[in-house]
Amino acid sequence: MELFQMWMNTSNPDENNPIPLDLRRTVWCAGAARGGEREWRFLTLRLQAARVAAARDAMLAAMACTRQVWLLNQFLEWAVSENSPVRKQDAAAVVGNVARTPVGYYVAREFFYNRIDDLFKTFNGQSRRFGYIIKTLLDQFTTQRELDEFLIFHDKNPKYFEETKLAVVQAIEKAKVNIDWVDQNKDLVVREMRKAVMYMNNNTHPEPALTSKQRRGHPKYISSLFAIHNISSIRLKPFRFYFGK
């Protein structure tokens, strides 16, 4: 956060950035996550001034890191609006970036269901980008309830999915894999989380309950931690370092 504040206090921040190049994506995300509206608006200005594609991509990802729901909604609104800070070609990336964050997932999911018509019009003739949004959203599913909700919505609104049938099939299959994995491993995860809490409280390393293969055998391991928050009151985010990805 200190590096981010240094950047904010720099004269002509679009030309003078004190953050090392290899740390910028991480620092920008941390600034948006730990800061508030001021930090987020600062990134918006930098996004509008950016001329390098890689920098724009990193800023779009960083802006999705905010935990302020209303800012995430603003970001998504820009994605389907004309004359907004988000270019039309970046709209799919915005929705995808928001959907991949712990807070943003819920915001993006509701936005998808409630604003499907606006999204469809935004990506009219761009089935690949619309399919990307569907895949990204369903890739976050870890419960049968989430999948059932989508399937019902899909069946009631077939006109929106005519050109993305393959993407929908692939997304559903991936969601099923995630759901099965969580069902099979959630008890192990909760036990491991509790041992991690003991380690943090007592400063003694818990005896590992999972093998390295089990911990790393599925790309949605960390995401599944958030999906099972209802069966544990433990704060999940601090344990990323313990479980790995």
- Contact (CB, 8 A) for 33 and 68: no
Could you give the CA distance from residue 119 to residue 152 in angstroms, rounded to a whole number?
18
Chain centre distance of CA 11: 32
Angle, helices 104-114 vs 69-79, to 10°: value is: 40
CA distances to 1, 49, 237 from 45, rounded to whole Å, are 18, 6, 29
More confident residue, 239 or 219: 219
The amino acid that residue 116 corresponds to is I
Residue 115 has pLDDT above 90, yes or no: yes
**Per-residue model confidence (pLDDT) at position 238:** 33
Could you give the CA distance from residue 220 to residue 213 in angstroms, rounded to a whole number?
14
Could you give the CA distance from residue 199 to residue 189 in angstroms, rounded to a whole number?
15
Q: pLDDT exceeding 90 applies to what percent of the chain? A: 73
Q: What is the pLDDT of residues 92-108, one digit of tens each?
A: 999 999 999 999 999 99
Could you give the CA distance from residue 160 to residue 150 in angstroms, rounded to a whole number?
13
Q: Is the pTM of this model over 0.85?
A: no
